[in-house]
Amino acid sequence: MIIFARKFSCKQTMVDTSKPIHINYPNFDKVVSQSLILVDFWAEWCAPCKTQDPILEELAKEMSGKALIGKVNVDDNRTLATRFGISSIPTLILFKNGERVEHFVGLQSKTRILQAIEKNLK
């Protein structure tokens, strides 16, 4: 099992952006409004989600300082899953300054995700 960065708190001033950050209902809007962030809606029991994890780890390292990678556990954050109409996981949503700009359902290649991120860095 991959262990991700400590839980993100909006009160923290330093966040390790080279690892995916955990996002939850209380901090979601603040986190996604501040930058370009790819949010992975996932669950521990989901096999495709576990396959997606190493790809997101790599992207977090490569995009550190340019874009964030975040994770929302849908079992722990049902309100967020409902809000974004998550019916299949993994679902990846790319937000730019709080606005949804890309949406992917199912396991995604590193290349496809990277293209979406780079397109929205401009």
Estimate the crossing angle of helix 110-121 against helix 47-63, to 10 degrees: 40
Among the listed residues 5, 36, 43, 46, the single catalytic one is: 46
- Look at residues 13, 15, 77 and name the one whose alpha carbon lies nearest to residue 41: 77
10 noted as active-site residue: no
Among 32, 38, 49, 94, which one carries the catalytic annotation?
Answer: 49
Q: Which helix (H) or strand (E) holds 94?
A: strand 91-96
Distance from C-alpha of 76 to C-alpha of 102, rounded to nearest angstrom: 23
Is 46 one of the annotated active-site residues of the chain?
Answer: yes
- The token duo for 87 is 């019916």
The catalytic residue positions are: 46, 49
